[in-house]
Amino acid sequence: MAQQPVEMILVRQLAGYLFVPVLVVDTTGTVVFYNEPAERILGVRFEETGRIDPEEADRLVELSHDPAAGPDGDGRPLVTALQQRRPVHARRWLLRRADRVRLQVELTAFPVIDQEDRVLGAVAMFWERPGP
């Protein structure tokens, strides 16, 4: 495995301490870490999966678009954070494929950018949204 930039190591370290569910992805969209609160929502432990490529992530969970979002809200928040180098917030339906549980989640994604202005990856913080 290639050595990670120090910024990504620090992001992963911080994510491990947070109470809110967090996913950390690299520039290819590969999930390089998710914390324990995220494990509870995703239904699988990071120790069991390790790094997850985008295709495998799509097999674990399905995100559907927010019907209340405008035309700009149809994208994938992590992809937007990586490609457009900006934070994004969205409401999505998350379907855990293993047990078919469907949850409405709010999520905020933002890019990780180093001092040389290179995008190193992105972070998504998400939480279950109560009610309709």
Q: What is the pLDDT of residue 85?
A: 97
Q: Residue 98 belongs to what domain range?
A: 6-128
pLDDT band of residue 1 (cuts 50, 70, 90) is low
Tell me how far apart the alpha carbons of residues 3 and 9 are, in angstroms, rounded to a whole number. 10
Q: Which of 10-14, 18-22, 23-27, 59-63 has the lowest mean pLDDT?
A: 59-63
60: domain CATH number is 3.30.450.20
- Is 64 within a domain? yes
pLDDT single digits (tens) 28-78: 999 999 999 999 888 889 999 999 998 888 778 877 876 665 555 557 899
Q: What is the pLDDT of residue 72?
A: 54
pLDDT band of residue 12 (cuts 50, 70, 90) is very high
Contact between residue 24 and residue 46 where contact means Cβ atoms under 8 Å apart: no
Work out how many domains the chain is built from and give that number. 1
Tell me how far apart the alpha carbons of residues 112 and 100 are, in angstroms, rounded to a whole number. 32
Which pair of tokens denotes residue 87? 């934070």
- Is 1 within a domain? no
The mean pLDDT of 106-132, rounded to a whole number, is 92
